[in-house]
Amino acid sequence: MFESDYKWSSESDVSPPIRGEDLPDFEGWVNFNGFSSRHPAYDYAAYLTDGGKCCVLGLPEGTPVRAVADGTVYQVILDAPPYMRIINIEHGEVGTGVISSYGHVVPSVSYRQKVTRGDVIGTLYKDPGNKRGRLVHLHFRMYHAWGSVRCGVNRPADPALVFSRLDSFNAEPQSEPSFRITELGDDVSIRIANFEELELFK
Ligand SMILES: [Zn+2]
């Protein structure tokens, strides 16, 4: 491992791991588990208006997941506890440890495969081993120095600082069966949906 000039920032040449515009009735993204030291990740759950009615949180199974930047597949993990399937992609020069990580994804790429920004690398599925898997979502992480010997720890980056408009809507309380989206007020109830297929939500 070596230090690299390539680090995640708001200047990074990235595109989103899921395209909101591909989803019917898309309004915005909600990180329903929040970004914290215990959960250094952005859980991509779409806030959808359900044909103009309010309000649904979830993503269709089979939603394409895309590489956020050019890179090389660093790991494809099929049995990480709790049964998450994870794809890790390294960006910049090999050995930098600059990583984007995609959880709850059925991979369509393999180890050491080169990918280009926007390439589909897998699809979302409902993960039965995920206690929070009531909601089909992408567990997305970014690291500045994955596995760095010098640092001793992986250094997570907050995706909301790299991608714009990821903090427009916030769920509260987080990690609970029922919650509200604070920006929508108290009188709006949220329905959790797990769509079996993308086509069903057209
Ligand atoms: Zn998560």
**What domains appear along the chain, each with residue ranges and CATH number?**
20-201 (2.70.70.10)
Contact 25, 52 (CB under 8 A): yes
Neighbours of 38 (CB within 10 A): 9
- Cα of 68 vs centre of ligand 1, distance in Å, is 17
Quote the pTM value.
0.86
What spatial distance separates the first Cα and last Cα of the chain, rounded to whole Å?
46
Which pLDDT belongs to residue 34? 82
Return the number of other C-beta atoms located less than 10 Å from residue 174's C-beta. Answer: 16
The pLDDT of residue 201: 47
From the CA of 3, how far away is ligand 1's center (Å)? 27
Residue 39 alpha carbon to ligand 1 centre in Å: 6
Give distance in angstroms: CA of 45 to centre of ligand 1. Answer: 10
Confidence of residue 200 (pLDDT cuts 50, 70, 90): very low
For residue 98, the model assigns a pLDDT of 92
Alpha carbon of 129 to ligand 1 centroid (Å): 13
**Unique residue bearing structure tokens 């769509």:** 195
Instruction: Using DSSP bridges, classify how beta strands 26-31 and 42-48 pair: parallel, antiparallel or unpaired.
Output: antiparallel
Three-state SS at 176: coil
**Is the Cβ–Cβ distance between 89 and 115 less than 8 Å?**
yes
Contact 94, 111 (CB under 8 A): no
